[in-house]
Structure 1
Amino acid sequence: MAQKIIFDTDPGIDDAMALLFAHALPNIDMVGITTVFGNGTIEDCTRNACYLNDRFNMGATVARGAEGPLTRDPVGPTTVVHGEHGLGTIEAPADQPINIDPRSAPVYMSEMARAHPGEITLVAVGPLTNLALALEYDPEIVNYVKEVVIMGAAFGENGHRGNISPVAEANIYDDPHAADLVFTADWPVTIVGLDVTHQSFFSGDYLDKLRDGAGDVGQFIWDVSRFYLKFYSERIGVDGCHVHDPSAVAYVADPSLFITRQGPVRVVTEGPAIGMTIQKSDDQFYHHDQWSPSRAQNVCVGVENERLLQLYWDSIVSLA
C-alpha cells in the first residue's frame, strides 16, 4: 500500500523537483501539500504549490501555512537562489486559481493525522514552522503521525556544516525555535540534511537527458533548473545542483538508500551559531545534558548516490 504523505513545502526550485518526484512514485500517495514561507513569500509559495498541483494533475489538497517564523525576525525569501517568485525564471500565472483548503496548514495536519492514525508521514522541506504550530495546536498529534521526515540541518558529516552560515542550514536557520520544538517532540523524526544531500548531484548532463527523456515533466524540470544552475555555477563553479528536497522524498520511498545514526537533536536558537543542529550520539552520562530527556531521532549520514539518481530518473520518466 502506498505511503500517505503531507508535503510541507516552500516552492522553491528543488521543492518543485521533489513534488514531481513524490507525485511520480508509485509507493507514495501525496494526499496534501501545505505551504510555508521560506524560498518565497507565503503568497508566492502558495501560488506556486497550486500551480504545480494543477499543471501536473497531482490531485493533492493544498493548505496555506505560516507566513513567518515563531520568534525570530524573518530572514526573507532566498531570491538569489530561487528567483523573485521562487521558481527561477518560471512564474506561476498571476490569475492562477488559489484552490486551497479552508483550514490552516497546522489544523489540516492535525485533522488528517487523526483521521488516518499511524498512516500519515509529514515530509517537510522548508522551515518547520507549520509542524511546530501543529504541535502547539494539537500536542497529541505525536500519537497519530507515522513519521516526520525533514530536509534540513547539517551535522558535519562528510565535511558539510552549513549553507547559510558556517554552521547552519537554511531551513533550520529560518526558524530555529520551530526546529528545536519539532526535533524534541515525542514523535519519530528522520533528518535528511546537508550531510547527505551534498553527496548527491544532478549534473547538467543528467538534467539535459531528463529533459529529452521525460516529456513535459522533464522539460519543466530542465526549465526551472536554469536559474538554480546559474547560481551554482557562479557561486561554487559547478555544472549542476545538489539533490536537496528530493532526497527527503527518496528516504520515504526507500530508506535503504541511506545510512542513519540515532540520538537526540537540539538546535541553537540564539547568538552567532543560531540554526546550528547538534546530535548527542553517545550513551555517556553528562552532568549538564539538555539532549537526553528528548527521544532519539534518526540523522542520515550516508547515501547511495547512484541508486538515488536512478530512482529519481525512473520515477520522472514514468510520468511521460
Structure 2
Amino acid sequence: MSFGQARVSPVRRVVVDTDTGIDDAHTLLYLAGRPDAEIVAITSVYGNCVVDDAVRNIGYVTRLLGLDVPIALGAAGPLEGSPNIASYVHGKDGLGDRGYLRPVPDLAAESSAELLVTLADEAPGELDLLALGPLTNLGLALRIDPDLLLKYRSVVLMGGSGPYAEPGVLRMIDANIDNDPAAARLVFAAPRNELVSVGVNVTAGTILDEQAIGALRAAGTPVARFAVEILDSYLDFYQNEWGRRIIPLHDPLAAGVLLDPGYATGWIDGPVNVVGDGFTSRARLMRTSDGLPPAFPYERTPDTRVLTSVDAPRFVQDFVKTLS
C-alpha cells in the first residue's frame, strides 16, 4: 500500500473474513460497489452473531448483490474460552432482526481457516485479506501455515486500539480482539508482508450521521434501502452512547483504507501486543500517547502499521455515494 496519498492501481482482489453483522453487511455492499475491488471469497466467523447466522447473512447479502463467490463456514468460538455474541448491538440474527429469509448458501467443502490457506497458496501475493471479526479463523489458519500472511499482498484488520491513549482518555471496547485474544496474539506475532490495524481509535470517530443516513434513505435503490433497513438496532445501541441516532463505520472504514490508503492521514509502524486489564483485552501499539515505549516489558513483534488518524469526512462521503 502507498499510505498518505490516493492510490491509483489495479483492482484489489479481496478475501473477506466476517462475523456478518450490520456494519459487516455494509462493508460487503461497499466493496461490491467499488470499481477497484473484487470480492474473491467470503469466510464466516462468530462475533456479531453466531457463525450459522453469519453464513446466512453472507448468503442474503450476496444474493442481493448478485455475487457468486465461495463462502465458507468458520469458527463458532474462540481458541480459548467462550464467545461473546453481540446480539445486543446487531440483533439476534446479526441483521437487526428484520425477518429476512436467509437460507444457508452453498458452502465450500473447506472450513474458513482451510479456505484462507488454499486461496493464499493458489494466488500468492495477489490477494488482500480483510478481517472484520474476531481473528479466530486467521489464528487457526496460521496453525496450518505459519507463513500464511506472507502469501497475502496485505492484511487489513478492523481491530486494535492504537497507541496508549492520553491519560484520562478511555477507548471504545476493542471487541474483535477481546473475543479471541489468543488468536490475535498469533496474528500480530506472525511474519507478514503488510499488516494494517484500523482500530477503534480511528473508527469510533468515523460517523454516519443523520444527514448521511438521510441521503442513503433518499437514494431508494435496493442496496441503499437494505443498508438503511438494517440500521435500527445499531442506532438503538449507539444512541445510548451519544444521545443521537448515529453510528460509527467500523468495518467499512477498514475496507476503505484497504482500497484507498489515502484515507489514512496518520499512522505509526511498530510492535503490537494483546494486553488485558482483567476485564477486556486490547491490541495496543506499544507506544504511549507521546511516542515513548510503555513503562513495562513487552514482546518485540514484527511491525504492524497502526492508524492514528483518518480523513473521516471524505470516507463517509465516498461510503454514502457508493451505497447510493
Contact 2:134 2:180 in 1 (8 A): yes
Structure 1 residues 80, 160: CA separation in 2 closer, same or farther (over 3 Å shift)? farther
C-alpha displacement at 1:211, in angstroms? 1.9
Q: Secondary structure at the match of 1:19?
A: helix
Q: Residue 89 of structure 1 corresponds to which residue in structure 2?
A: 97
Q: Residue 265 of structure 1 corresponds to which residue in structure 2?
A: 272
Residues 1:108 and 2:115 are matched in the alignment: yes
Q: TM-score, normalised by structure 2?
A: 0.89
- The 5-angstrom pairing of residues 1-320 of structure 1 reads 1-75=10-84, 77-93=85-101, 96-155=103-162, 156-157=164-165, 161-164=170-173, 169-187=174-192, 188-213=194-219, 215-258=221-264, 259-268=266-275, 272-281=278-287, 289-292=297-300, 294-317=301-324
Distance 1:16 1:218 in 2: 12
Q: Secondary structure at the match of 1:266?
A: strand
Q: Kindly provide the CA deviation profile for residues 79-123 of structure 1, in whole angstroms up to 9, marking residues without a partner as x.
A: 1110111101323415x1421111111111111111111011110
The one-letter amino acid paired with 1:29 is E
Q: Secondary structure at the match of 1:268?
A: strand
C-alpha displacement at 1:306, in angstroms? 1.3
The one-letter amino acid paired with 1:178 is A
Distance 1:109 1:22 in 2: 19
Q: Secondary structure at the match of 2:230?
A: helix
Distance 2:280 2:92 in 1: 26
Contact 1:199 1:303 in 2 (8 A): no
Structure 1 residues 105, 241: CA separation in 2 closer, same or farther (over 3 Å shift)? same
Contact 1:197 1:243 in 2 (8 A): yes
What is the identity percentage for the equivalent residue pairs of Structure 1 and Structure 2? Answer: 31
C-alpha displacement at 1:290, in angstroms? 3.6
Q: Secondary structure at the match of 2:147?
A: helix
Structure 1 regions of 5+ residues with no counterpart? Answer: none
C-alpha displacement at 1:170, in angstroms? 0.8
Count of aligned residue pairs for this structure pair? 309
Distance 2:293 2:197 in 1: 24
Distance 2:296 2:236 in 1: 46
Q: Secondary structure at the match of 2:281?
A: coil
Structure 1 residues 173, 184: CA separation in 2 closer, same or farther (over 3 Å shift)? same
Contact 1:7 1:32 in 2 (8 A): yes
Contact 2:14 2:38 in 1 (8 A): yes
The one-letter amino acid paired with 1:185 is A
24-33 or 278-287, larger mean C-alpha shift: 278-287
C-alpha displacement at 1:243, in angstroms? 1.1
Q: Residue 5 of structure 2 corresponds to which residue in structure 1?
A: none
Contact 1:154 1:160 in 2 (8 A): no
Structure 2 regions of 5+ residues with no counterpart? Answer: 1-9
Distance 1:230 1:186 in 2: 40
